[in-house]
Structure 1
Amino acid sequence: MIRLAAFTLALLAMLGTAHAGEVAVAVAANFTAPIRRIAQDFEADTGHKAVLAFGSTGAFHAQIRNGAPFHVLLAADDATPLTLEREGAAVAGSRFTYATGKLVLWSSRAAYVDDRGAVLRTGAWQRLAVANPKLAPYGAAAVETMEKLGVLSAARPKLVQGENIAQTYQFVASGNAELGFVALSQVIAQGRIAQGSGWIVPSHLHSPIRQDAVLLASGRDNPAAAALLAYLKGEKARAVIRGFGYDL
């Protein structure tokens, strides 16, 4: 009887795997760490595998319009998924906000960035890294922040531009730029900035970084794509998202 039960469980597991699928996901670079953890849980819980690609939202938009075979987009803004819906490249009504991002002025050096961001006004630095504001919403938020603080004109000659927020982080982490605007999710651990020093930019200094997910037209009939979007709305995934400093 015990052997029969074990055999039945093994058979069910095999059947579940047989029905599992893959979903190709275009992921905004700021969400790299959370989605890697969520993808592991997703595969363990559902059997479906998420194949992840990371980059800037603007670049993904262009790729999707040109036929890139992604099934789901996890954008760093809410405008791109809406535009893709209007262009017929995404399934109407599938959009939802999976996270609201936070911007941080960060340095890999301890005590370099104060808790009010006053270091921006000192000019005692040679390079400030930002993501390309035309492609990366976090870069656009950084520019908006500097405009509101009245420091953009003075800072502009010293700006170092990353293609996306991951490259921007690398500029600062490597010391090639003394400081830069990155996503809080890139530098947070256990609820605080894990290394270096940083200033979490108050939300009133830039437009909300609402990050929307959307089912792309190529994923319309993909059960794994639908399952991933549903999984992102569940409490297990939401707990991971919160743990990386995002608002929900």
Structure 2
Amino acid sequence: MTHARHRLAIAAAALTAAALMTTGCQSEDSDSGGGGGDEAAALSLSGLTAIADDVPKDGADTCPLSYDIGAAAKAAGVDGEAGPVGADGDTPAATAEGGERAEAGEPLAENPGALVSCTFRIGADDVQVHTVATRDPSAITVLAPTISPLTGMSTDDAVDYVNTAAKADAGEVLVADSGNVATVRLKLDGSGDAALLVGAGEGGSASLERQQVEGLARALAEQVRVR
């Protein structure tokens, strides 16, 4: 089962490396769009890293970021119950990587930053919400290993998608060809690069429609804060 409790293992490193080689430093901060919201609680690299460090290594029962999945689902025109993933003993509601737990050779050690992954349930689908921030561009490359299993894309197609997402303006939503994954570059308070990935279902299949996934990503990008 695909869920947020993934690890940036050696097996996934080749995909991330391929994306890094082609994106390089071509991604730059844009003044357009972004997460918005209260300045004091705006998303920052240091804030996300601090939250990631506080998430237990075996995961947390609640998402530590200020996402309101019910409100986001409503804004995206999604019917059905929306809430946190059930505590079934297998899928934690949240996991984190990077920060203090980053190990030498891992993407979040090579490009210091943090990843907080939360899993929600909307109707029949598990919905993964990955929030990542790094010191240098491109933060989205950290999420490359999650894209193939979520979308059913080949490695080459996944790398192409990551490359395109890395060049997007802040606030721009990019939906994968599969229709069940969307990414948004986020504008940080301060320096760094950040991105949000929303994935419904797995293997390119979800009950949510393409425009609903796009709307969900846009709504969540507008919500994201650090507490």
Q: Same fold (TM over 0.5)?
A: no
Task: Give the structure-2-normalised TM-score.
Answer: 0.33
The structure carrying a bigger helix percent of its residues is 1
Q: Which has the larger radius of gyration?
A: 1
TM-score by length of 1: 0.31
